[in-house]
Amino acid sequence: MTDAQWRLLLETLDGRVFTPPPAGFIIDSPWLPRWAGLTVLDYLAADELWLEANLKAHREFPELLFLPGFWAEYGMCTEPSAFGARCAFPPDEFPFARPMFGTLEETDGLKPPDPASDGLAPFVLSRLVRLRPRIEAAGQAIRFSVSRGPLNVASFLLGVEGFLTALVTDGPRVHRLLGTITDYLVRWHARQKAAVSSIDGILILDDIIGFMGADHFREFGLPYFKELFARPAAVKFLHNDAEVRPSAPFLGELGVNLFNPGFEVPLSELRALAGPEVTLLGAIPPRDVLALGSPDRVREAVRAQGAAEGGRSRIIMSCGGGMPPGVSTANIRAFIEAVGDLK
């Protein structure tokens, strides 16, 4: 993200209204490698290919805010790998971590990993530090520390069904597990910030929030996300593109000022739930419109969102969730053109 784009983001979060409105996307390995002509594995494994794919996106679409921008990630594997999860890296599919515990009792005695040495985190940080001079030479900067959230990591360690069942069968053990995971994540974000001084944002991605009702989120989500977002940062960015209605009223209490939801809840309704201070990144349908629709269908969706009730304050035009696989250059250009036409 350039200095001018960073200022645009900060001013949008402060409530300044722009015409046309700002636009941007979360981009990572489900979309970027194939769009750049790479396999997912080569993109993740090779510094040069990773860097060139990211620079290509910035050169091709300078109008867009790419979030977090230059994301050094290993799919869903970075944080679970630090706890010892077995990770799978198919040649051209999104990586994933296999559950490592059959029961919640097996997590007794689990200790927080060391982000300096355990799992894939050292490789993530090494890539960022090593390539930072070339990123900055291209007029860009690394702005965010990034991780999956504590609920998401717990669901990889136990499996989604096992974790959600444990919420209602053994709350004390779940709290111990989430405390251990959060301790690691706090130190992992601090290590990213210490190594890359341009970082002034924090991005947490956690779709398991959307599998909880309000009471469960208040007990098992709220305290741990508050701890993660307690670090001083200009941008506190949360992604959850599963169900958002139960948790959205807590965004302000979490300290979140930028939120990327799914597309099912209209932004006007989400604004009423989240409050006026949270900037919303979204939310045209990602797969059926942005990836599979025609350019005209993309333009129609952007116009419809631009005309929807709720105003333009603290809105960044995007899709619901991250950029999905298969989005074409033609559809992205149609999106940019339609946003540019909004008055």
- Predicted TM-score (pTM) of the model is 0.97
Q: Give φ, ψ of 231 to 5 degrees.
A: -65, 135
Per residue in 188-217, pLDDT (tens digit) is 999 999 999 999 999 999 999 999 999 999
Amino acid symbol at 284: I
Tokens at 103, concatenated: 């029961």
Q: Is the dihedral of CA 237, 205, 305, 289 positive or negative?
A: positive
Q: Which CATH architecture has domain 3-340?
A: Alpha-Beta Barrel (3.20)
Could you give the CA distance from residue 44 to residue 29 in angstroms, rounded to a whole number? 8
pLDDT of residue 307: 85
Residue carrying the six token digits 């900060």: 10
Q: Is the peptide bond before 166 cis (omega within 30 degrees of 0)?
A: no
pLDDT lower than 70: segments of the chain: 309-310
| Nearest Cα to Cα of residue 324 among 24, 36, 23, 28 | 28
Amino acid symbol at 25: F
Q: State whether residue 236 is helix, strand or coil.
A: strand
pLDDT of residue 341: 96
Q: Domain residue spans in the chain?
A: 3-340
Could you give the CA distance from residue 250 to residue 271 in angstroms, rounded to a whole number? 12
